[in-house]
A and B are shown apart, each in its own frame.
Chain A
Amino acid sequence: MSETVESVSALIIQKLLANPKVPRDIDGNCKIMDDLAFDSLAVMNFVMEVEDSMDVSVPLDKLADIRTINDLAACVVDLKNKG
C-alpha cells in the first residue's frame, strides 16, 4: 500500500475536522499554527495522532520546517517511503 500526499492530506483534514474548534473550510494549504491557531504543544500533540494513524514517527526537528497541512502530509509520505 502506498500513500500519496493527497491521501495523507485528506486524512489529516479529516482528523482536524473532528475538533469542533477547527474552521470548517480548511484545505491542504492552510497553515497549521497561523490559520488554525494551534500553539506549539497542540501541534506536537496533533502530529502524534497522525503518527498513530500512519504508523510512522515524525522526528521533532522535522516539525520546524512544516507550515501547512500539505507540508505535514509530504513529510509523512517521505518518512513512510524511507521505512
Chain B
Amino acid sequence: MTSIFSKFDGIAGALGSLMEAGGRNPFSVVIEKPVSSTVGIIEGRETLLFGTNNYLGLSQSPRAIKAAQEAAATCGVGTTGSRIANGTQSLHRQLERRIADYFGRRDAMVFSTGYQANLGMISTLAGKDDYLILDADSHASIYDGSRLSPAQVIRFRHNDADDLYKRLKRLDGTPGAKLIVVEGIYSMTGNVPPIAEMVAVKRETGAYLLVDEAHSFGVMGEHGRGIAEQAGVEADVDFIVGTFSKSLGTVGGYCVSDHPELELVRLNCRPYMFTASLPPEVIAATMAALEDMAEHPELRTQLMDNAARLHAGFHGLGLNASKQVSPVIAVTLEEIGQAIVMWNRLLDLGVYVNLSLPPATPDSRPLLRCSVMATHTAEQIDKAIAIFKQAALDANALPAAA
C-alpha cells in the first residue's frame, strides 16, 4: 500500500538535515512571552525581535488592548458565522467604512485574514476567459488565488514594467479582462516596484490593477496608504488589498475600491462567504490601531530612520543586504548551510529573524529576512548589528576584506 505521506519524504529529509546542521527546527520557534513589541522570551531568554512584521509596534497598543477588552465584554468573543450569514455585526460595517474612508474609497470588504483577502479577490475577479498577470515574485496568497481562479495565469519578470508590457501586448485582440497584480513591498526581499511605470502600462493596455499593500500599508506614503499614495497613483489602482496583521498589529484582511461592483464580489467570493468572520475584539482593536496610526505619523518617520540605520549597519559589515531601504531588509547568503549556522547563532546570541530557504526565496539562495519596527531603539538596532557581525563570522559568511 502506498503511504499517503510518501510525498513528504523529500521535505522530511531536508528538515532532518536542517536540524542536524543547526540544532533547531527554524519553523517551530516559540515566543514564550512577548515582553514588549520589540522583545520576546525565546528559549527562556530575552530576545530582540527583528522578524515579526509588527512595523509600528501596534500589537502592544494600549488603546487597541483596551478596545478589545471592551468589545469582548459587550459583544462576546466570536461571531460564529460568515459575513453573508449571521457573522456581520455593526462593528464589521464600521471597520469597513473606516478603512474605505482612510483610503478615500467608495467601499471596503473585510476578510478574516490577509491571505484570504488575496485568495478571495484574485479568484473572484478573474473569471474564465480573463487573464491574471502576476509579478514572478508574488506572495503565495497571490499564486494560490490564481490557482483558485479559472483565468489564464501569466507571470512577468519581477518589477519589470517592460516585460509586463510585452506580455500584455501578446494578448492584444484576446477577449477577456486583464488583471495585473503587484505588491507594494515584496515581503521576502523588501523590493519596491516601479509603480508609476506599471500604471502607465495598465493605462495603455486597458488592464485593471490590483496592488497588495500588505507590507507597505502604514509604512509608505504621507498617510501610510502605501506605495500608491507615495507615488501619487492611487486613482489608477482599481483594487487595493491589505492586511491588519502587519502595521496594525491585529489580524484580518481587506480590499478597498471605487468600483460599485465590490458589493457583488461579496456574493461571489468563496473565501469571504464560507469562513467565519473576525471576532468583535479583533475588529475593535483594529479600529483603535487605525486611530493610533492616523494620529501618529511620526511612527512612520521613526520606522524609516530605523530601517536606514539597520540597512547602513549591514552594508557597513559587508553583508549582501537589500539594495533599497525599506522595513524589510533581507541578507542574502550563498549557501544554505551558512544560512542555517548563522540563523542559529543569531538566536543563540539573542536576535530573532526569519530564515527563508529556496524555493520560498526568489532565486536559489537563502535569505535571513529582518523586519524593522518603529519601536526599536537605536541601541537595540546597534546591538542587532553587532550580533549579526558575530554570527556572520561564526558562519564564515563575511567577505574576506571585512
Contacts and interface: CB of A to CB of B under 8 A. Distances in A.
A61 B152 contact: yes
- Which 6 pairs, one residue from A and one from B, show the smallest C-beta to C-beta distance? A59-B152, A60-B153, A41-B359, A39-B359, A57-B154, A57-B170
B155 interface: yes
A57 B167 CA distance: 7
Contacts of B171: 57
B146 interface: yes
A48 B136 contact: yes
A67 to B, nearest CB: 16
Contact of B154 (A40, A41, A55, A60): A60
Interface residues of B, number: 13
Interface string A39-80: 111101100100000011101110000000000000000000
Given A60-B146, A61-B153, 12 more contacts: A39-B359, A41-B358, A42-B364, A45-B136, A55-B170, A56-B170, A57-B167, A57-B171, A59-B152, A59-B154, A60-B153, A83-B170
Given A45-B136, A55-B170, A60 B155 contact: yes
Contacts of A83: 170
Interface of A: 39-42, 44-45, 48, 55-57, 59-61, 83
A80 B152 CA distance: 16
B207 to A, nearest CB: 14
A44 B358 contact: no
Contacts of B167: 57
A48 B153 contact: no
Contacts of A48: 136, 155, 157
Interface of B: 136, 146, 152-155, 157, 167, 170-171, 358-359, 364
15 contacts: A44-B136, A44-B155, A45-B136, A48-B157, A56-B170, A57-B154, A57-B167, A57-B171, A59-B152, A59-B153, A59-B154, A60-B146, A60-B153, A60-B154, A83-B170
Contacts of B136: 44-45, 48
Nearest to B152: A59
Contacts of B358: 39, 41
Interface centre among A56, A57, A59, A60 (most CB of B within 10 A): A57
A41 B152 CA distance: 18
Contacts of B359: 39-42
Contacts of B155: 44, 48, 60
A56 B167 CA distance: 8
